[in-house]
Structure 1
Amino acid sequence: MTTSKEVPERTEDGRYIIVDGKKWRASDPSIPENLRQQLVNEMMDARRLVKTNPDAARPRVQDAKVALGERGEAWWEPTDEGQRERLAATIRALLRRRDGKTICLSEATRVVDITQAKGPIRLGALH
């Protein structure tokens, strides 16, 4: 069993981690550590909220996981649409994490290859 302090085993290609014999998509390794930790913290806060307010928690978990590259389009096979979706999820996750404080868009763009994210970014509603 993998504890929270242990680094989980990865598949040879690095795209998946193995936890208790199950394969899970790994976070995108190109995300800078400070930003990755903020997104992980948002995801964990949202997961704790599932018990008391699941309707508010689910979009937060989804956005954090998409931002990290654990859901949505595979981070190793980017498309324009997938990059835009991931960028929007990152912006929403960071805004929620900062609870009303501003974010710098250059921070959010660190999760995608900005040259691939052409076209409009649709943020949708923050819950």
Structure 2
Amino acid sequence: MKVMIIEDEMLLAMELEHEVETAGHAVVGIAATSGQAMALVGETHPQFAFVDVHLQDGPTGVDVGRLLAERQIPYVFVSGNIKKLPDDFAGAIGAIEKPYTVNGMANALAYLSAIIGGDESASPPASLVLAEDALRPQRFR
């Protein structure tokens, strides 16, 4: 899976990049601002994205998420305060709360990869808070 990381804290972005690559996926880009993220979406055509809510240019991750949802690119928010997400999760599959554990992120990534690949039998890990409509299979095809 081609994964994009939208995170303004470089150490966290690098850690997440390592986790994604360890799981056998390719990171196609890392963005720290909404402008960088929106440009990368068009350039790299990711199949999935991790999106922080608060980026270098403010709480603009939700705007990036809405763009991803419009383009039917599945994504999850990675945030220190998931209670501040919009009720509709801005089209996200769900959210992973910071700080997360390496094991929690690995389990979430395995689940996300499975459901995006069409495996509806996969069970969500405790590290992933799902949006209400996240399990609708047609969302990912």
Q: Which range, TM-score by smaller chain?
A: 0.3 to 0.5
- Greater relative contact order (CA < 8 Å, ≥ 6 in sequence): 1
Q: TM-score, with normalisation over the residues of structure 2?
A: 0.32
Q: Whose strand fraction is larger, Structure 1's or Structure 2's?
A: 2
TM-score (norm 1): 0.34
